[in-house]
Structure 1
Amino acid sequence: QPCERLSCHKSSVCSRSYFVVVMVFFHVYIINVIALLFYVHYNSGQEDANRSRDAPSSGHQRPESRRPPSKDELQRDISLPRIEGIRVGHVQKVSLVSGRLHEMRTLSLKPLLFIPGFLSEDECRVVMQLAQLKGLMESQLMVQDGQEELARELNLSPEEIFNLLDINQDGQLQLHEILTHSRVRDGIWLTPENLREIYAGLKADKDGNLLSLEEFRLLSNDAFQRFLLQRGVKRSQLVRNSRHTWLYQGKGAHQVLQDIKEVIRLTRLPPTLVDLSEPLQVVRYEEGGHYHAHHDSGPVYPETACTHTRLAANASTPFETSCYITVLFYLNSVDGGGETAFPVADNRTYDEVSLIHNDVDLLDTRRNCDKSNLRVKPTKGTAVFWYNYLSDGRWVGEQDEYALHGGCMVTHGTKWVANKWINIDPDYQRQTRYQQLVLQQPEE
């Protein structure tokens, strides 16, 4: 019996302890629920009071302001999607047409560059025929006029120009120093060889290698133009040797041109941004045709506005082209040459001065395409697309200098391509104002 009493006593103690613990947890739970109800009630009352204070005295609700939202407000809701390259050679599947998967391969990370199969053989044929039906124009005129006016606007003395060109400040101008700042003169592409020829023809350079300030003074503002006119200019010396036209892709356009706007799915950008961009440019390069290396978009400067959003910018603001993405369609396979060259793709560094070394100019696609880091061979139906700007995490960042590219000389046959440039203003508020203005305009 003592043992039984002891056992009962222990059991009684355990039951009381368990009961106390349960009650403590129950009360804590009740207290938390009550505190939460008070919190919700207090915040709701505060918001109602704020709304009452902000309401007009007449009792009618004030209409919302139509001011463009600030960049911070906009960035909370909208950002530019950007495809990840992962690594060079990475392949990802994309669905561009219902019931069909396309493979998209990463060609480069600097710039971010991809190549997918895109157009059918029939689509390529129709685009070329539509371009011929509309008619193609010269992509570049020969020697440009207005050089005297340009010289007056420049308003710099020969000494000032000389000092600006003299990169290493040694008092002598080397050929690469001049070409770094002025590869293009009067619409003509200058090479070390024809620059020497010009100097020799003008009898300005006595030693043939360096140009002193005294020799530089002998060159008048129109000396280059007069010499080129006397000597004659060949089409092969132009910056760009091709013919092109523009094809509208909106309502009423040929169905094939509207279908090509499936590029929206490829880039994953909002349709509005694509619809408000430039029309499709179709380009034909004959044998010997080329396009020297260049950037499709300029650097981002606070004081400049984009050409396509000038409607929403100050009329006195200088304009700069802003192509966020370039999509290049190959409409035929080229028999010889015609590759798209990216001279500095995936370089560790970018230095404009180093693009010319020992008379080798990497921007010269007629002579030095084989020295580019990456070359894409034109294959009918394929497309390459790349980003001309970096990302700031939400919107457009700085210019991607590695997006430097050009068209190698066509050595045999004809080359047909189509360019689709997707324009986005690096200034989000200006891009938004532009879209609002366009939407407010009545349809024709």
Structure 2
Amino acid sequence: MYCTYKNGRHPFLILAPLKVEIVNVDPYVLIFHDIIYENEIEIIKSMSKDSLSRANVWDARAGKAIISHIRTGKYSWLAKHMHPVLNVLNQRIEDMTDMSMETSETLQVMNYGIGGHYDVHPDYLDEPKGNVIKMTGYVNHFWGNRIATILFYLSEVEHGGATVFPHINISLQPKKGAAAFWFNMLPSGLPDYKVRHAACPVIFGSKWVANKWIRYNGQIFHRRCTTNKNDYYHLYGDTIFQ
């Protein structure tokens, strides 16, 4: 829709404001351009390659994570203590979103080969105290649901591989060094069904991304709550551009 600069309240951003593209307003979907550097990307990819394993999904009936055809790709988890660049990245996400990383999940790195995809799904959890805890072991169940998602693009894809939001008719083509951001929950604390999304199949090339999921309970002083839908634009705008 339009582009702007985010300088926020952090002193560094006064000297080097972030480049932000507002793709959609209701719900907010943003792209931060040139937000992760080439050397950081190579470190993250190199750290992940030896521990990549087939990605799975949570099966509520089985009560466990299972391999499924709806998600074909490989993933790895990188805890912030594993390399200084991961701490730097956490601080940058705080600068980008004005949200706390104290209750954010471990960075998940994904690789999709040819045909790799992920069908339409939400990032919020139907059972906030269950799913990801059993899948990763890095999450405290008191942290609450996934309030927001940061998706870093670590590569470009020659054909296919877009991130699509079918309920709002948006398609984001991977651009190396950029990151998409959206809220998974409304200001009332309820899930926002319009941000269900999918990773389109990779037709040619290899797709690398990294996900950071921010949890709800750490944001009490970072994002105000409301049940009034008229406050939707105001609150989302304040969160990103205050």
- TM-score interval, smaller chain: 0.7 to 0.9
State the Cα distance separating 1:425 from its structure 2 match. Answer: 3.8
Aligned twin of 2:73: 242
User: 1:92 maps to what in 2?
Assistant: 5
Corresponding residue to 1:412 among 179, 196, 204:
204
Greater fraction of residues in strand: 2
Q: Please tell me whether the aligned partners of residues 114 and 385 of structure 1 are also in contact (alpha carbons under 8 angstroms).
A: yes
Do residues 378 (structure 1) and 201 (structure 2) align?
no
TM-score, length-normalised on structure 1?
Answer: 0.42
1:265 alignment counterpart: 95
Q: 1:332 aligns with which of 129, 145, 155?
A: 155
Where structure 1 has 5 or more consecutive residues not aligned to the other structure, the ranges are: 1-87, 154-185, 189-237, 313-320, 346-372, 429-444
Which letter does structure 1 place at the counterpart of 2:119?
H
* Alpha-carbon offset, residue 268 of structure 1: 0.4
Any unmatched runs of 5+ in structure 2? 131-138, 221-242
The residue aligned with 1:278 is 105
- What is residue 123 of structure 1 aligned with on the other side? 40
Structure ID, larger Rg:
1
Which ranges of 4 or more aligned residues in structure 1 deviate by more than 6 Å? none
* Aligned residue among 342, 352, 377 for 2:165: 342
| Residues 1:254 and 2:83 aligned together | yes
Distance 1:400 1:129, change over 3 A: same
The answer as to 2:187 corresponding to 1:391 is yes
Given candidates 400, 403, 418, the residue that maps to 2:195 is 403
Identity of aligned residues (%): 29
The CA deviation string for residues 105-127 of structure 1, in whole angstroms up to 9 with x for no partner, is 11112321110121011111111
Among 15, 25, 29, the residue aligned to 1:109: 25
Per-residue deviation, 1:256:
1.3
- Rounded to whole Å, the distance in 2 between the matches of 1:130 and 1:111 is 34
Matches of 1:424 and 1:390, distance apart in 2: 11
Q: Where do residues 2-401 of structure 1 align in structure 2 (5 Å cutoff)?
A: 88-94=1-7, 99-117=15-33, 118-133=35-50, 135-140=51-56, 238-250=69-81, 253-261=82-90, 262-270=92-100, 274-298=101-125, 306-307=129-130, 308-310=139-141, 322-345=145-168, 373-392=169-188, 397-401=189-193
Q: Deviations over 1:374-432 (max 9, x none)?
A: 1101011000010001113xxxx22111111010000001000000000114997xxxx
Letter in 2 for 1:333: E
RMSD (CA atoms) = 2.7
For these two proteins, the number of residue pairs brought into alignment is 203
Q: TM-score, normalised by structure 2?
A: 0.75
Offset of residue 330 of structure 1? 0.2
2:236 matched residue in structure 1: none
Which string of whole-angstrom CA distances, capped at 9 and with x for unpartnered residues, describes residues 117-151 of structure 1? 21011111111011114x1011028xx9xx8xx6x
Q: Is the 8 A contact 2:160 2:202 kept in 1?
A: yes
Shift of 1:311: 5.3
Letter of the 1:329 partner, please give it: F
Which structure is higher in RCO with an 8 Å CA cutoff and minimum separation 6?
Answer: 2
Separation in 2 of the partners of 1:309 and 1:324? 15
Q: Which amino acid aligns with 1:115?
A: I
**Helix, strand or coil for the counterpart of 1:327?**
strand
Distance in 2, Cα, partners of 1:293 & 1:244: 18
Paired AA for residue 17 in structure 2 = L
